[in-house]
A and B are shown apart, each in its own frame.
Chain A
């Protein structure tokens, strides 16, 4: 921990950054924290209780617009950062990334290439619980799955916390706010809630870092991160794991395999 504080302090003292995005101690769990000076750096923490994906703040213009930004990034945040670079949302010379390893040590990245190399070698943290739930669901019959998801999604009251927590949901105008034509009913109904989640997951396809922040952000605990988790797995199974696959839905291979088109 002290390593992180002294490192960030150094960055501020050398005047390399204007803002550092990290976590501070919260009431129960650590919460996101923005440090603006060397003194602020003392408040920073990083441990396995840190939830969410800090990369979400990198596209908030009101927060970081034009500023030199430092960030403490988990494995998943690194994946999101790499994807945001792919989508031309970040500037390399305005960003200093400190990778936080699970053993608490810090990786200082000198640019995007190093992040990519690290990601291609590092192992993703295991998601045993999600995998088990996924297996349970896929072994159900279609009717049982419908029952499960319509029950779960009937509770959703469309607060869009899942959208706010997601680093990939940075559109300034979201499809849910488009009302000519109105693609998704804005009021609360199971069907509209489903349509919203289907849209969210389809728009995340191949871009999602599978961090699970959407599920963690849901105030009533609907396991929507299972949808993105499943989508990540489907993408990997059909189009390969590699990060060089490009943006899955805006590219193609003539020999993509499928078994349902007559």
Chain B
């Protein structure tokens, strides 16, 4: 069995550009890493920052967020709004010590099949080097870890009680 770490990468992409672009990658028969799971959205403006956090919480080691180039949005301004959100979100995550090197943002148009393959490959290589993203997932288990400590402490207290009658 192969024990090498295979990164799980989730890609949040917009329907009109990057999804079509990824389609082109396929129809052009360009080979790229199969670690990516693509989630299609109507627009980058729809990609809520909570979705990224949920991806990390549920086992993603890396994330790609991609949509239309500026000025190319199907809905005129969705990607401009998204860009502002990402600027702030990224700096907030960085400030809280969440690994922003695991999130790759990009603009991929419907004609850029090769660029999509390139971005996925780059991200997967990058994540492979970074390893699985355990810190964030582990944070979900904090209480369990706490409980163990607590049980030990209770047991110790009981022992003391027995000792001292």
Residues of A in contact with B (beta carbons under 8 Å apart)? 137-138, 140, 142-150, 154, 183-185, 187-192, 194-195, 197-199, 201-202, 205, 227, 230-231, 234-235, 238-239, 248-254, 256, 258, 260-262
**Which residues on B sit within 8 Å (CB–CB) of A190?**
139-140, 142
Task: Name the one of B57, B71, B105 contacting A254, with C-beta atoms under 8 angstroms.
Answer: B71
Report the tally of A-B residue pairs with Cβ distances under 8 A.
120
Q: Are the CB atoms of B92 and A231 closer together than 8 Å? A: yes
Give chain B residues whose Cβ lies under 8 Å from the Cβ of A230: 91-92, 95
Given contacts A190-B139, A191-B57, A194-B139, contact A227 B92 (CB under 8 A): yes
Q: Is B83 an interface residue (CB 8 A)?
A: yes
Chain B interface helix/strand/loop/mixed: helix
**Binary A-proximity of B78-105 (CB < 8 A = 1, otherwise 0):** 0011011111111111111111000011
Interface residues on B, range: 35 or more
Q: For A145, A194, A254, which residue has the most chain B Cβ atoms within 10 angstroms?
A: A194
Given A154-B142, A190-B142, A198 contacting B88 (CB threshold 8 A)? no
Cα distance A148–B87 when bound, in Å? 23
Q: Assess the A239–B84 pair: CB atoms within 8 A.
A: yes
Alpha-carbon separation in the docked complex, A189 to B141 (Å): 7
Q: Which of B100-144 contact A (CB under 8 A)?
A: 104-107, 119, 135-137, 139-143
Contact at A199–B50, with CB atoms within 8 Å?
yes
Whole-angstrom distance between the Cβ of B130 and the nearest chain A Cβ: 11
Candidates B83, B88, B94; contact of A261 at CB < 8 Å: B83
Residue pair B105, A261 in contact (C-beta under 8 Å): yes
Measured in the bound complex, the distance between the Cα atoms of B88 and A256 in whole Å is: 12
A92 to B71, CA, bound (A): 39
Partner of A258, one of B54, B87, B136, B141: B87
- Contact between A250 and B95 (Cβ–Cβ < 8 Å)? no
List, in ascending order, chain A residues with CB within 8 A of B83's CB.
252, 256, 258, 261
Chain B nearest CB, measured from A208 CB (Å):
12
Our pick among B80, B88, B141 for the contact of A234 (Cβ within 8 Å) is B88
